[in-house]
Amino acid sequence: MTADRTDPVVRTPHGAVRGRYERGAAVFRGIPYAAPPFGPRRFRPPEPPEPWDGVRDAGAYGPTAPKPPYSDAFACYLSDPVVPGDDCLNLNVWTPEPGPAARLPVLVWLHGGALTRGSSAVPVYDGHAFARDGVVLVSVNYRLGVEGYGLFPDAPANPGLHDQLAALRWVHESIAAFGGDPDRITLAGQSAGAISIGALIAAPQAQGLVRRAVLQSGPPEVSERDKVRRMVRRMAARLKIPATAEAFAAVDPELLLKTQAEVGRLSSPVLGGPAFGIVVDGDVVPRDPLSALIDGEAARGVELLMGWTRDEYRLWLVPGGLLDHVDRLGPVALAGAMARCRCSHEVPRGYRALHPDAGTAETVGQMVTDHLLRVPLHRLADARPGAAYVYEFAWPSNLPDLGACHALELGFVFDTGDAPESRKLAGEGGPHELCEEMHGAWVRFAAEGDPGWEAWDASHPVRVFGDGESHTAYGPRDAELALWATEADAEAPPVDGTFAARGTELASAVRRLRRTVGARLH
């Protein structure tokens, strides 16, 4: 490609867009796949964008969905740029060369951020490396927080998930003009993005749209409807309005975001609490996605790449000094983890026996990670022998105490480890060869369905990245995960005798712990 090439122009179903040639790739940013979700469209499923005449410029990232900023404790590790504007249902495309003749594999990226933060404009998600290696990369913005996942009596549930489905349909219909093959679409995401993918590949409306899926640090799951309602009701109480979509739509957007952040500070991936999430809605999510994928016919032909980081929990416990605080709480923190996981005292006792040198925070963190993430992904892999591949990311950050924490693998997957935004989490001097290995595995999976190691079977092969030379371990988490097998058969998990006579006091202690987390992180 030469520097004097004219800008690439591609026609979409709604009008033509002009991108840019950058570093050997044609890049199109901010393409609308749906109309702005405001005014009469607020809290409603997405509608198609208005067609436009002429050629629309696609040289800059489009508006990001409304979201509160990260707290100072997290902002030093995670970047979350804001692009103002209402036209926030947009996507970006990186392609080696536009045109229907190429028929290249496609990877569609859904960002994480607990369904309340994040966007496709995060520099870590730059798609140049995928385009360089022959994969068309599409990254998507979707509604977040109360706008995308609030549960109201006068509006449909899961509008943010409907956004993602609309984007996926757009890709299936439009990507050939950008050089992609609509029959080779891989849907990939991390954290909340991976949770969304679990719901999407199980959705009746998405069958046939996806060939492969990548779930990074997020299992197929749904939230309890009452848990989401509590978020909405607490926001309504602070705002002194009814808990309806009509009332929320009348609130100043900045005040709404501020209130959402204040209410959400009492929730935590490790300690639980009210939070926004995908719910069963009788439509896109007719039942629990994990159950649908394990015992139903949903996505039977979809190949899976799934995994986690070794120390997921450290991103949530290191900021604000919570790691040491949880260690000091000792038995109360362990009891809080038991309440979070609804398990008996046998589980923490088993973890202590397997890891006698681990502190309380490590035991709590690994318990919660296994219960919420590794157990369901193991179950899903067991249901898809020969069609699932599992990995663990084990390289520890060069920053103090983070270890191989949640989201650390992203710079390696996208081969953007040199970006300042990746170094905020990884520190300086991340290994380039690990970038090559992980990014190459994702490219191979998108192109061929085989990332380069053996598929899941009874031996439980897990590809371990970053713990010395990359290698395959067999059943590395089986001993810990076996502790949960007996819990699944228990009718009502008992509480450790140490706390049996202190139920009210324990519940109060867990609430105090959540408030402490909120105060330290916000």
Residue 61, CA distances (Å) to 5, 41, 123, 190, 380 in order:
21, 22, 11, 20, 35
What gap in Å lies between CA 57 and CA 314, rounded to an integer?
41
Q: Domain boundaries in the chain?
A: 9-521
Residue 199, CA distances (Å) to 82, 121, 205, 268, 345 in order:
27, 23, 11, 22, 32
pTM: 0.94
Phi and psi torsions of 380, nearest 5°: -65, -40
Cβ partners under 8 Å of residue 418, min gap 6: none
Q: Where are the alpha helices (DSSP H) in 175-288?
A: 192-202, 225-239, 245-249, 253-264
Confidence bin at 274 (pLDDT 50/70/90) = confident
Confidence bin at 494 (pLDDT 50/70/90) = very low
Q: Does pLDDT of 474 surpass 80?
A: yes
Residue with tokens 């693998």: 409
Which residues in 70-81 are b (16+ Cβ under 10 Å) and which e? Answer: bbeebeebbbbe
Confidence bin at 515 (pLDDT 50/70/90) = low
Q: Does pLDDT of 489 surpass 90?
A: no
Helix (H) or strand (E) segment spanning residue 482 = helix 478-488
CATH of domain 9-521: 3.40.50.1820
Which candidate, 212, 413, 363, 199, places its Cα nearest to that of 290? 199
User: What pLDDT is recorded for position 516?
Assistant: 57
Confidence bin at 4 (pLDDT 50/70/90) = low
Catalytic residues: 191, 312, 406
Q: Is 249 helix (H, G, I), strand (E, B) or coil?
A: helix
What gap in Å lies between CA 288 and CA 308, rounded to an integer?
21
Residue-wise pLDDT tens digits, 117-168: 999 999 999 999 999 999 999 999 999 999 999 999 999 999 999 999 999 9
The overall average pLDDT reported for the chain is 92
Residue-wise pLDDT tens digits, 425-461: 999 999 999 999 999 999 999 999 999 999 999 999 9
- Measured in residues, the chain has a length of 522
Q: Does pLDDT of 271 surpass 90?
A: no
Q: Does pLDDT of 518 surpass 70?
A: no
Tell me the Cα Rg of the chain: 22
Phi and psi torsions of 254, nearest 5°: -65, -40
Q: Is 458 helix (H, G, I), strand (E, B) or coil?
A: coil
